[in-house]
Amino acid sequence: MTDSRMTRIALAVAAPVLALVTAFVITSVVLILAGDDWLGVWGQILSWPSNRTMVNIVNSATVYYLSAVAVAIGFRMNLFNIGVDGQYRVASFAAAWVAGEAWLPGYLNIVLALLAGMFVGAMWAGIAGLLRVTRGVSEVISTIMLNAIATAVVAYFLRKVAIRTEGSNIISTKPIAEESRIPGIPFLGGEIYGFVVVAVLVGVAYWVVINRTRFGFDLRAAGQNESAAVASGIDVKRMILVTMLLSGAAAGLVGMPLLFGQDYAYGSTFQSGLGFAGIAIALLGRNHPVGIALGALLFAFLDQQSNPLQILLDVSPDIVKVTQGVIVLAVVIAYEVVRRYGVRIEQRQVAAALDAETREKEVSA
C-alpha cells in the first residue's frame, strides 16, 4: 500500500467523523436553546441498546441500506435519482399483489414477486431515464414528479385489488401465504429479517459491478467526466438509461424486507419516506458499500434510540431528525473540504517526489 493510498483512506475517514462531531454540537445547541435536558438526551441516545432495540436497528438498517444503494448507483454516474421513494412504493405494491395472488407455490412465489418488484421499479425509474436521454429532462425534476404520481397510481390500483380488513378503514393487498414468507434469522433473542442476506448480497454485487467490471468502469467514467467518456467510446446515453434501470431495480427491493418479513401485504400503512433517507445515507456513506452500511446502521441507531425520548424526558424524538439532517449537510461540506485538502497534499507529494528525483539526477550527474 503506497503512501498516497494511506493518506486517501485517512482523509476518507476524517470527513464523516468531522461531520458527526458537528452534528452533535449543533443538536446540543438546539436542545440547550429549547431548555431541554441535553445531557439526558445524549445519555439515552448513546446508551447501549437493549437486545430488542438491536434487532430493530438491524432491521431498519437493512431497509435503509437497500434504499441507499439504489441511490448510490445513480450517484456514481452523476444521476440524482430522487425517485427511489416512488420507485420502491410502486414496486412493493406490484410485488405484494403478485405474491398475494400466489400463482406459484412456496419460494418460487417469492422469486417471482421479487422479480416483479425489481422490474416495476426499473420501469418506473426508466421513465425518467428515457425522458433524460430523449428529451433532456433533468432526472431530478422527473423523478420528484414521478414520486407524486406513484402515490396516486398506487392508491388507485390498491383500491382495485385491495381487500378491506373487517371493521377498519385500512385496505391492503391479499396477505402473502405462510409458505411464501421469508423466515427471520434468530438474533439476540429476537429475529431479524431474513432479507438481510439479500441486502448483503446486493451490497457485494454493487461493489463488484461498480469497481471490478468493465461496465462499472464505464459507469464511473461517464459520471466523472462525460465528454472524456464519449471520447473513450462510451455510449453515454445508453449508460444513463441502463443506470436508471439498475437504480430503479435496486429501489424495487427496498420494501421487500417489510413485505416478506413483517407486513406480508401492501396496504395504506406501508412505511413511506425510505427513499429520502436513502439519499442522505448514500451521501454519508460516500456511495461505498461499506460506508453505506455504516451510515444505514447509524441512521437506524439514532431512530431507534430516540424512540423512548418522549416517555423518558418529554423530548420529541424528532430531535434526531435534526441530527441526521445536520450530519448530511456537514458531511457534504466536510467531504469537499477534505477533498480539496487531499488534492493539495497530493500535489505537494508529487512536487516533493519530483524534486527528490531531480536532486538525485544532479548528484549522479
Partner 1 sequence: MSSTTTAGTAPVGSGDVVVRLRGIGKTFPGVIANHDIDIEVRRGTIHAIVGENGAGKSTLMKILYGVQKPDSGTIEIDGEQVSFSSPSDAIAHGVGMVFQHFMLADNLTVLENVVLGAERLHGIGDAAREEIRRLSATYGLDIDPDDLVADLGVGARQRIEILKVLYRGARIIILDEPTAVLVPQEVEEMFDNLRGLKAEGLAVIFISHKLDEVLSVADTVTVVRRGTTVATLPGDSVTSRQLAELMVGSELPSPSTEASTVTDVEVLEVADLCLPDPAGGRPLLSDVSFAIHRGEILGIAGVEGNGQAELVESIMGMRPAATGRIELNDGDIAGWSTRRRREAGIGYIPEDRHRQGLLLDAPLWENRILGHQTRRPNVKGPFIDRAGARADTERIVEAYDVRTPGIDTLARALSGGNQQKLIVGREMSGEPSLLIAAHPTRGVDVGAQAAIWDHIKQARREGLAVLLISADLDELIGLSDTIKVLLRGRIVGTFDPARVTPQQLGSAMTGATEEETQS
In the complex, least distance from residue 245 CB atom to partner 1, rounded to whole angstroms = 18
Give the DSSP letter string of 194-205.
Answer: TTHHHHHHHHHH
Contact between 213 and partner 1 per CB under 8 A: yes
Contact between 318 and partner 1 per CB under 8 A: no
Contact between 346 and partner 1 per CB under 8 A: yes
Specify the residue, 4 or 51, whose C-beta has the smaller distance to partner 1: 4
Give the DSSP letter string of 71-133.
Answer: HHHHHTTT---TTHHHHHHHHHHHHHHHHHHT-S-HHHHHHHHHHHHHHHHHHHHHHHHHHHH
Pairing of strands 185-187, 171-172: unpaired
Pairing of strands 171-172, 163-164: antiparallel
Contact between 134 and partner 1 per CB under 8 A: no
In the complex, least distance from residue 236 CB atom to partner 1, rounded to whole angstroms = 10
320 closest CA partner among 305, 340, 342, 335: 305
Specify the residue, 218 or 303, whose C-beta has the smaller distance to partner 1: 218
In the complex, least distance from residue 220 CB atom to partner 1, rounded to whole angstroms = 8
Specify the residue, 167 or 233, whose C-beta has the smaller distance to partner 1: 233
Q: Which residues of 315-353 are buried (b: 16+ CB within 10 A; e: fewer)?
A: bebebbeebbebbbbbbeebbeebeeebeeeeeeeeeee
Q: Which region, judged by CB under 8 A, interacts with partner 1, from 30-38, 222-230, 249-257, 328-336?
A: 222-230
Specify the residue, 216 or 325, whose C-beta has the smaller distance to partner 1: 216
Residues with Cβ within 8 Å of 289's Cβ and at least 6 positions away in sequence, in order, are: 69, 203, 204, 206, 207
Asked if 256 and 195 count as a contact pair (C-beta separation under 8 A), the reply is yes
Q: Identify the residue among 39, 46, 197, 350 touching partner 1 (CB under 8 A).
A: 350
In the complex, least distance from residue 22 CB atom to partner 1, rounded to whole angstroms = 25
Contact between 357 and partner 1 per CB under 8 A: yes
Q: Identify the residue among 134, 138, 165, 232 touching partner 1 (CB under 8 A).
A: 232
Contact between 228 and partner 1 per CB under 8 A: yes
Q: Identify the residue among 47, 268, 343, 360 touching partner 1 (CB under 8 A).
A: 343
Bridge partners of 186, per DSSP, are: 191
Specify the residue, 9 or 197, whose C-beta has the smaller distance to partner 1: 9
Q: Which region, judged by CB under 8 A, interacts with partner 1, from 81-89, 134-142, 233-241, 293-301?
A: 233-241
Specify the residue, 77 or 171, whose C-beta has the smaller distance to partner 1: 77
Contact between 163 and partner 1 per CB under 8 A: no
Contact between 36 and partner 1 per CB under 8 A: no
Q: Identify the residue among 225, 268, 310, 316 touching partner 1 (CB under 8 A).
A: 225
Which amino acid, one-letter code, is at 305?
Q
Q: Identify the residue among 11, 12, 230, 322 touching partner 1 (CB under 8 A).
A: 230
Asked if 292 and 70 count as a contact pair (C-beta separation under 8 A), the reply is no
Which amino acid, one-letter code, is at 133?
V
Asked if 292 and 66 count as a contact pair (C-beta separation under 8 A), the reply is no
Residues with Cβ within 8 Å of 62's Cβ and at least 6 positions away in sequence, in order, are: 192, 193, 195, 196, 199, 257, 296
Return d(Cα 190, Cα 104) in angstroms, integer. 30
Contact between 286 and partner 1 per CB under 8 A: no
Q: Identify the residue among 136, 168, 233, 314 touching partner 1 (CB under 8 A).
A: 233
Q: Which region, judged by CB under 8 A, interacts with partner 1, from 138-146, 149-157, 307-315, 339-347?
A: 339-347
In the complex, least distance from residue 68 CB atom to partner 1, rounded to whole angstroms = 22
In the complex, least distance from residue 338 CB atom to partner 1, rounded to whole angstroms = 13
H or E stretch at 360: helix 319-364
Return d(Cα 278, Cα 75) in angstroms, integer. 12
- Which positions lie near partner 1, rule CB under 8 A? 2-5, 211-218, 220-221, 224-225, 227-228, 230-235, 343, 346-347, 349-351, 353-354, 357
